[in-house]
Structure 1
Amino acid sequence: MTEPATKEPVAKALVRLNDIGKNYGNIIALREVTMAVSSGEVTCVLGDNGAGKSTLIKIVAGLHKHDTGSYEVEGDEVSFGSPREALDRGIATVYQDLAVVPLMPVWRNFFLGSEKRKGLGRLDIDFMRRTAKSELLAMGIDLRDVDQPIGTLSGGERQCVAIARAVYFGAKVLVLDEPTAALGVKQAGVVLRYIVQARERGLGVIFITHNPHHAYPVGDRFLILKRGRSIGYHAKDDITRDELTALMAGGSELEELAHELQGIGTAGKELTREAKDLGLTDTAADGAADTAADTDTAADTDTGADTDTGADTDTGADTDTGADTDTGADTDTGADTDTGADTDTGD
């Protein structure tokens, strides 16, 4: 992995965050986070729970104001007071919990809050049906009928309707809050395809996710957050998928956990091997962990051998001293004089 990207995107930045910070009382939610989003690029913001992703998206969307640093839109420094102000500047946010009315048809949800009207204030239903159909087709979404309730669509399809809606209403920057989090593999793939199509239409996309395997195929730049701080900001050419996964997963923490688990059987060994597969531990540490885990495993086997020692079975041979079965062997050996000891046993 090369050094974090410091140069700005070639295209003019639609959105630029410079050393953004946000506090909630004594809690530092974000500190000195820098990011730029350009037309025709997907910038992925990755981080675990509590990393600061939600705070960042709320600042960009106009829900919260930043405390320190600067927020620029097309070169103008801004501090939005509401999501409407952000939307007026071309920043549309699609949240994980979509604001849709399940029983309303697709076209009605497409225009929800921005309905097209004609004479005497009547809804122009024909226009909205045609427009919703054509805009969805332009994004590659071919629905059976835009009159069907949006609640009948899959989660991925509903996400795609929201993306197409944002594009139609003039979004320049599309902010997607964990759009693949609650989806299966197939539906997640559908959403990722539409993210690429939005990029190809010239939008700047901010893709918030905790999944590096979803981010890497579509991303052009990657911002990794941890506990409110940026721990990496890389162009795609500067980082591999495995390196991105290692940054996201926190290799040193997994290594420390594996060390703690070494004394309790095979758990430490399994965790160390998983970390090794992700490239999160060094070879020396792996060898030491494997050796320790092997020793523990061997000890477990020896202990198991104690249970198997069958010393109980051997002591059972003492019960055999009654040797009625053994004396039966006297008939086979025919050695009655030698078995005179049998008479001594008195059994």
Structure 2
Amino acid sequence: LGDNGAGKSTLIKIIAGYYHHDEGHIFFDGKEVNFNTPRDSHNAGIEVVYQDLALVGLMPVWRNFFLGREVCKKVGPLKILNKHEMRNVSRQGLRGLGIEIPSVDQAVAFLSGGQRQTVAVGRGVHFGAKLLILDEPTAAVSVRETEAILSLIERVSEKGISVVLVAHNIYHVYRVATRFVVLDHGEKVADVSKDEVTPEDLIKIIAPPLN
């Protein structure tokens, strides 16, 4: 949590291997790590779902599900996309998380914002995420879709996957979180468990009342 400019997005990109930290240490799975590239972060089991979702609108759901990780089969000396397997796996992976998509053959551009978000989350879970970082997952979606996304986050957490949720809406975060970390200008100003604070307390930490 944190106001604009608090350092939330920068921290995400450091964990994802896009930026290098100039102070402090990163520990993951009990070990100190340094992610020099996004591939290092992926290989460690960290998946990040950014606000832009990294989805290609003109491609169907199944292509986006395997984007950059396409499954191929050999036909003589050639390798071609194994469309049948990718369709089936993406369909099963989404259903396994309770994600309802009209068809995995549907272009992502025709999905709602909430449906796109769930596809991106489902993709991260399928590829073995130990830590899933979600950047503003409930921004610009309807009330009904917000409920679906928060329920999905709860189901992901129940699978034993750690979730870091970056959001402006404290009430959304409060429902699904167990711990809250507040940043201000790149510094941690609060690190509290749910039973220690109310949403109103968090609001006061982020934006202290003027004297």
- What range is the shorter-chain TM-score in? over 0.9
Does residue 130 in structure 1 map to residue 88 in structure 2?
Answer: yes
What pairs with 1:194-273 in structure 2 (closer than 5 Å)? Answer: 194-251=152-209, 253=210, 256=211
Q: Distance in 2 between matches of 1:228 and 1:181?
A: 22
Q: Deviations over 1:46-99 (max 9, x none)?
A: 011011111111111111111111101112211111111100000111100121
Equivalent AA in structure 2 for residue 102 of structure 1: G
Closer/same/farther in 2, CA of residues 245 and 56 from structure 1, 3 Å limit: same
**Paired residue total:** 208
Does residue 147 in structure 1 map to residue 105 in structure 2?
Answer: yes
Q: Which secondary structure state, in structure 2, belongs to the residue aligned with residue 174 of structure 1? A: strand
Q: Which runs of 5+ in 1 are unaligned?
A: 1-45, 257-347
Q: Could you list the runs of 4 or more consecutive aligned residues of structure 1 that deviate by over 6 angstroms after TM superposition? A: none
Residue equivalent to 1:100 = 55
Q: Distance in 2 between matches of 1:187 and 1:247?
A: 28
Equivalent AA in structure 1 for residue 196 of structure 2: D
* 2:133 paired residue among 175, 191, 195: 175
Q: Distance in 2 between matches of 1:131 and 1:192?
A: 24
Does residue 65 in structure 1 map to residue 23 in structure 2?
Answer: no
Q: Higher helix proportion, which one?
A: 1
Q: Distance in 2 between matches of 1:155 and 1:250?
A: 33
Q: Report the alpha carbon displacement of residue 231 of structure 1 after superposing the two structures with TM.
A: 1.8
Q: Return the structure number with greater relative CO, CA threshold 8 A, min gap 6.
A: 2
Percent sequence identity is: 47
What pairs with 1:23-172 in structure 2 (closer than 5 Å)? Answer: 46-120=1-75, 121-172=79-130
Q: Distance in 2 between matches of 1:118 and 1:150?
A: 25
CA RMSD of aligned residues (A): 1.2
Q: Which secondary structure state, in structure 2, belongs to the residue aligned with residue 47 of structure 1? A: coil
Q: Which runs of 5+ in 2 are unaligned?
A: none
Q: Report the alpha carbon displacement of residue 161 of structure 1 after superposing the two structures with TM.
A: 0.5
Normalised by the length of structure 2, the TM-score is 0.94
Q: Distance in 1 between matches of 2:97 and 2:136?
A: 20
- Tell whether the 8 Å contact from 1:212 to 1:248 is kept in structure 2 after alignment: no
Normalised by the length of structure 1, the TM-score is 0.58
Q: Which secondary structure state, in structure 1, belongs to the residue aligned with residue 24 of structure 2? A: strand
Q: Which secondary structure state, in structure 1, belongs to the residue aligned with residue 166 of structure 2? A: strand
Equivalent AA in structure 2 for residue 78 of structure 1: V
Q: Distance in 2 between matches of 1:246 and 1:156?
A: 30
Equivalent AA in structure 1 for residue 205 of structure 2: L
The worse-fitting range, judged by mean Cα deviation, of 89-98 and 72-81 is 72-81
Q: Deviations over 1:219-272 (max 9, x none)?
A: 010001122222211011111222122222322x3xx4xxxxxxxxxxxxxxxx
Residue equivalent to 1:271 = none
Residue equivalent to 1:8 = none
